[in-house]
């Protein structure tokens, strides 16, 4: 399961840096553009691309899996996601005007509906006699939980949106809270939500329970909860939809904390509360590639009026500052997920890694992704794709449980 420590650790150069082997990233895992194996696999799923509140009458640039797109909301409330360059002569629809029926290019006024259909060509004789044949490249969108989701894959393979057992029913007084401010310690309400490293570094980190004991609990002090100071006993396993771990910790009072964390293929997590408070995970997170070297995260949680705004903001602060306000020295003194992951590089040099026993969850995630993208290459449907609108919801058991 785990690769043995590589011989580079025992090199005959006595481990000196001179002449060391240069490791490269694993392109199969890192590349997300159209036509790449991972890119085609990821394109079989709906992905959040923006907060619903970001889709307005002002065109907005979004970049997803290496593709630049324009997001808008037309006067009828429909969200649209179009290829930026107008099919006429390539002017960007970023400078377009959003109208009731769609978006109008600023150059010659061609008007496109959210599904790319061209409704008007005002400079053409008779308003464009052949405009029915014109189609601005587009992707379908839908909204859920306060997020705009897009499907960027083959039209005949468009799946249903997955459902999750802990999410869809709201109790009295509950609502959804959404967040797009970057990951863990990088969450920063003053900074753009672009995390400068590959999406997988962030996603696989969810299956790395040991870093919680070091990075977040003992290296520079308690970042999340004192309950995580003790080293856990961890069991990982595959599920029908991804990977799960149970991390057990003995408590001073003789009891036990069982922390269950899970990821769902291809890029979704249900992380239990990091303050270690009891109960089921509050929501879901998506790790969405911007391109091969950066990503963004979308979180949705069920909150009440009392808990709204608390889930992420507390986490974001160190010394009363947001991440972007920390000095270099402060970032060295109490590094968080941002420092740990971004300093791996915008892509890790996998060939230089020395995976150990505690990395089992990371290996499992990578192995499952590779198996799934291979399925897509062979013409099969990957795990997590369903075409049945009545399909059973994915069971989520993530949470902190005390006994």
CB of 243 to Fe ion, least distance (A): 16
Applying CB under 6 A, which part among 84-92, 150-158, 288-296, 322-330 lies near ligand FES?
Answer: 84-92
Report the residue number, 108 or 350, with the smaller CB distance to ligand FES. Answer: 108
Task: Give the containing element (helix H, strand E) for 373.
Answer: helix 360-377
CB of 76 to ligand FES, least distance (A): 22
Q: Is 86 in the site for ligand FES (CB under 6 A)?
A: yes
Give me the residues paired with residue 295 across strands.
195, 289
Report the residue number, 107 or 189, with the smaller CB distance to ligand FES. Answer: 107
CB count in 10 Å sphere of residue 255: 10
Q: How many residues at the interface with Fe ion, by CB under 5 A?
A: 2
Q: Starting at the earlier edge strand, list the strands of the sheet with 141-144.
A: 46-51, 147-151, 141-144
Of residues 269-308, which lie at the interface with ligand FES (CB under 6 A)? none
CB of 306 to ligand FES, least distance (A): 50
Phi, psi for residue 242 in degrees, rounded to 5: 170, -130
Question: Which one among 20, 76, 89, 130 touches ligand FES, defined by CB under 6 A?
Answer: 89
Quick one: what does residue 110 bind among ligand FES, Fe ion, none, with the CB cut-off 5 to 8 Å set by partner type? Answer: ligand FES
4 exposure class (CB count in 10 Å sphere: 0-12, 13-18, 19+):
exposed
Rounded Cα gap, residues 46 and 106, in angstroms: 30
Quick one: what does residue 91 bind among ligand FES, Fe ion, none, with the CB cut-off 5 to 8 Å set by partner type? Answer: ligand FES
Question: Which one among 63, 78, 88, 321 touches ligand FES, defined by CB under 6 A?
Answer: 88
CB of 85 to ligand FES, least distance (A): 8
DSSP 286: E
Quick one: what does residue 105 bind among ligand FES, Fe ion, none, with the CB cut-off 5 to 8 Å set by partner type? Answer: ligand FES
Handedness of CA 34, 359, 329, 226 (dihedral sign): positive
Residues 16-25: contacts with CB within 8 Å, 24+ apart?
21/351, 21/352, 22/349, 22/351, 22/352, 23/349, 23/350, 23/351, 23/352, 23/353, 24/349, 24/350, 24/351, 25/198, 25/345, 25/347, 25/348, 25/349, 25/350, 25/351
Torsion angle in degrees (nearest 10) through CA of 49, 52, 58, 62: -10
CB of 91 to ligand FES, least distance (A): 4
Rounded Cα gap, residues 339 and 133, in angstroms: 51
Report the residue number, 337 or 372, with the smaller CB distance to Fe ion. Answer: 337
Quick one: what does residue 88 bind among Fe ion, ligand FES, none, with the CB cut-off 5 to 8 Å set by partner type? Answer: ligand FES
Pairing between strand 67-73 and 79-82?
antiparallel
Applying CB under 6 A, which part among 13-21, 81-89, 203-211, 364-372 lies near ligand FES?
Answer: 81-89
Rounded Cα gap, residues 145 and 175, in angstroms: 9
CB of 71 to ligand FES, least distance (A): 18
Q: Is 188 in the site for Fe ion (CB under 5 A)?
A: no
Report the SS3 class of residue 338.
helix
Report the residue number, 162 or 184, with the smaller CB distance to Fe ion. Answer: 184
Question: Which one among 26, 204, 337, 372 touches Fe ion, defined by CB under 5 A?
Answer: 337
Residues 98-117, one symbol each (x = binds ligand FES by CB under 6 A, - = not), give -------x-xxxx-------
Structure token digits, residue 206: 């969810």
Report the residue number, 62 or 82, with the smaller CB distance to ligand FES. Answer: 82
Residues 8-37, one symbol each (x = binds ligand FES by CB under 6 A, - = not), give ------------------------------
Q: Is 334 in the site for ligand FES (CB under 6 A)?
A: no
Counting Cα atoms < 13 Å in the Cβ hemisphere of 37 gives 15
Q: How many residues at the interface with ligand FES, by CB under 6 A?
A: 9
Q: How far, in whole angstroms, is CA 3 from its chain's centroid?
A: 27
Report the SS3 class of residue 203.
helix
Residues of this chain that interact with ligand FES (CB under 6 A) are 86, 88-89, 91, 105, 107-110
For Fe ion, the binding residues (CB under 5 A) are: 184, 337
């Amino acid at each position: 399961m785990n690769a043995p420590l590589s011989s580079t650790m025992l090199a005959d150069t006595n481990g000196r840096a001179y002449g060391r082997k240069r490791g490269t990233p694993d392109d199969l895992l890192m590349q997300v553009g159209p036509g790449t194996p991972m890119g085609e696999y990821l394109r079989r799923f709906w992905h959040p691309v923006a907060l619903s509140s970001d889709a307005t009458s002002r065109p907005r640039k979004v970049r997803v899996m290496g593709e630049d797109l324009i997001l808008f909301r037309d006067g009828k409330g429909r969200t649209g996601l179009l290829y930026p360059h107008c099919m006429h002569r390539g002017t960007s629809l970023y400078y377009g005007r959003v109208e009731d029926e769609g978006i109008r290019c600023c150059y010659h006024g061609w008007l496109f509906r959210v599904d790319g259909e061209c409704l008007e060509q005002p400079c053409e004789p008779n308003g464009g006699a052949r405009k029915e044949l014109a189609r601005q490249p587009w992707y379908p969108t839908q909204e859920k939980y306060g997020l705009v989701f897009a499907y960027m894959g083959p039209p005949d393979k468009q799946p249903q949106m997955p459902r999750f057992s802990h999410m869809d029913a709201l109790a009295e007084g509950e609502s959804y809270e959404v967040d797009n401010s970057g990951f863990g310690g990088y969450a920063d309400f003053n900074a753009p939500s672009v995390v400068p490293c590959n999406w997988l570094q962030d996603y696989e980190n969810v299956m790395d329970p040991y870093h919680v004991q070091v990075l977040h609990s003992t290296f520079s002090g308690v970042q999340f909860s004192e309950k995580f100071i003790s080293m856990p006993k961890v069991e990982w396993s595959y599920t029908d939809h991804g990977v799960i771990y149970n991390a057990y910790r003995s408590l001073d009072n003789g009891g036990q904390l069982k922390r269950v964390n899970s990821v769902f293929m291809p890029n979704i997590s249900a992380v239990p509360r990091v303050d270690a408070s009891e109960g089921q995970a509050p929501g879901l997170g998506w790790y969405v590639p911007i391109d091969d070297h950066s990503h963004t995260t979308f979180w949705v949680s069920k909150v009440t009026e009392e808990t709204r705004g608390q889930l992420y903001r507390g986490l974001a602060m160190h010394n009363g500052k947001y991440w972007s306000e920390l000095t270099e020295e402060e970032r060295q003194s109490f590094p968080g997920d941002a420092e740990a992951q971004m300093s791996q590089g915008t892509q890790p040099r996998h060939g230089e890694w020395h995976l150990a026993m505690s990395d089992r969850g990371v290996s499992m995630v990578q192995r499952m992704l590779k198996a799934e993208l291979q399925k897509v290459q062979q013409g099969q449907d990957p795990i997590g794709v369903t075409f049945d609108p009545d399909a059973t919801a994915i069971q989520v058991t993530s949470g902190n449980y005390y006994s």
